[in-house]
Amino acid sequence: MSKSTEFQLVKGRVFADLGLYERVSGLYDGQWLAGEGRRRIAVHSPINGERLAEVAVADEEDYSRLIERAWMSFAEWSLVPAPKRGEVVREIGDRLREYVDTLGLLVSLEVGKTPVEGKGEVQEMIDIADFAVGLSRQLYGKTIASERQHHRLFEQWHPHGVVGVITAFNFPCAVWSWNAFIAAVIGNVVVWKPSPNGALTAIAITNIVNEVLDEQGLPALFFVAVDGAGEIGRLMSSDRKLPLLSFTGSVRTGREVAARVGERIGRSILELGGNNAAIVTPDADMEIALRGVAFGALATAAQRCTTTRRLILHESLFDSLLPRLIEAYRSVRVGSPLEPGVLVGPLISGRAVESYSSAIGRAEASGGRVLVGNSVLALPGLEGGNYVAPTLIDGLAPDSEIVCEETFAPILYVLSYSDLEEAFAIHNCVPQGLSSSIFSNNLREVEAFLSVVGSDCGLANVNAGTAGAEIGGAFGGEKDTGGGRESGSDAWKAYARRQTVTVNYGDELPLAQGVTFDVN
């Protein structure tokens, strides 16, 4: 069977199971809006360049109507008790369980992840739904000791109303769920603007989750508006009717979003770029280090914000661990993620391939030495795909311009250090601060890495790679990464507004700080 025939069979099965067509609407405002008369964009698979579908996109009028209907839904949804809201999200999680394999394959077709990774992303949605169910009974406030007699002082949390979520292509559904399910149990309604490269995944999921709500006689809670060139995203950033906007994407675009939201004194959750490093010390378990670095640097074809992009390697390990890593890079299989044994799939677009080649050229011009890789691959039967060879480069200064940038492609810069203080300085010299790792069995090295002088990132890993966060912890980073937090721990507080309440149950009116005010 040819690769093209196999691709079409998988596509046909996935589209049939999810109710997708080759001409679909990317507009849901309580109902799917017809695509006639609206501009359409084509969604192509990075696997082979084949067109998957045409999607009708939203315009400004569509967006205005969608926001109005979202607030109407909020008026009803916010009055449902939080534990009941949790039960609804539980039903949604159960419904998603029925589509794990099919949705995982859709992720593979649309963004090029391996089926295992695609399925894992859908499982992450289910996991966060389970987390949100428990959270719905734990939206705790604090009781505070009042200095005034016969007064009660406490905090409570209310939903913002309608929350905007803008997601990137590399996690076309999991990141949305981090925001959407947590926001929903608090009482919010969610408007989603997915990446055009992940539009079909967003459409399929929006259809599944709102089907559950419709069966229970509830209003639509999860709205979607696909755009073609960021038009809807710009409207969302400037819209006072979105008190909170969560944005995942590049640092450059994140700065623009932050400026627009800040101008209207709104709130934003920013999950921007990462330039993550793994430090490997002589006291590391080399088998764990090798696997951890390789997975962190190559998973999802290095198109994760948590991808390992810098390897900070002790100078004594250049003759032992580095040759093994080079051999792993040479032997790793690149190709269609639908083929068994493939670990590295395609980049998302031709533009991403150009960025890969440009970054390597700049690295070489700055004195870098390519150890392995540096080739754009033309694979038989996949000529329209976007494939490149995973690349290792050494010889660059840690603070060189190209090393300090994030390139969304499988390029790993190998940097040398002699002592731990130098390793930390190299690690922290880049503008980004998302994820970090140290591989060491030395307690002192580990504790120093976790101290204030060690990693300056939002995520710190010991004997584990930079990629692959669990949903129970708050996810996010510092510096140019934006400072946002999503998913677990107490990240839910970003989706609610805090209210401090004072109740006077006495028959006098004492004032705080001993102030007196007599009007007798």
Catalytic residue among 305, 406, 457, 486: 305
pLDDT score for 229 = 87
CATH number at residue 300: 3.40.309.10
The interaxial angle of helices 82-97 and 174-186, nearest 10 deg, is: 150
> Domain range for residue 212?
7-272+484-498
DSSP string over 59-93? -HHHHHHHHHHHHHHHHHHTTS-HHHHHHHHHHHH
Report pLDDT for 295.
97
Nearest to 169 by CA among 304, 75, 34: 304
Residue 447 among the catalytic residues: no
Across-strand partners of 432? Answer: 479
Question: Per residue in 267-301, pLDDT tens?
Answer: 999 999 999 999 999 999 999 999 999 999 999 99
What secondary structure letter does DSSP report for 143? E
**Same-domain status, 217 and 354:** no
User: Which amino acid, residue 172?
Assistant: P
171 and 191 together in one domain: yes
**326 in Cβ contact with 372 (< 8 Å):** yes
Give tens-digit pLDDT for 460-481: 999 999 998 899 999 999 999 9
The percent of the chain in helix, strand and coil, each rounded to the nearest 5, is: 40, 20, 40
Q: Which residues of the chain have pLDDT under 50?
A: none
Pairing between β-strand 435-439 and β-strand 276-280 as defined by DSSP bridges:
parallel
Residue 520's pLDDT is 67
Q: Would residue 305 show up in a list of annotated catalytic residues for this protein?
A: yes
pLDDT of residue 466: 98
**In which element (H, E) is residue 518 found?**
none
Are 131 and 268 in a shared domain? yes
Please give the pLDDT value at position 492.
98
**Does 60 fall in a domain?**
yes
CATH number at residue 182: 3.40.605.10
pLDDT at 247: 98
What gap in Å lies between CA 425 and CA 454, rounded to an integer? Answer: 8
Asked whether the CA dihedral 299, 301, 303, 306 is positive or negative, the reply is positive
Task: Single out the catalytic residue among 110, 121, 124, 271.
Answer: 271
Q: Are residues 38 and 139 in the same domain?
A: yes
> Facing residues of 152 across strands?
503
Same domain as 151, residue 17: yes
Give me the pLDDT at residue 154, please.
Answer: 98
Model pLDDT for residues 184-208, shown as the tens digit of each residue: 999 999 999 999 999 999 999 999 9
Integer Cα distance of 75 and 19 in angstroms? 30
> In this structure, are 252 and 390 located in the same domain?
no
Query: Mean pLDDT for the chain?
Result: 97
* Alpha helices for 366-454 (secondary structure H): 420-427, 443-449
Q: What is the pLDDT of residue 160?
A: 98
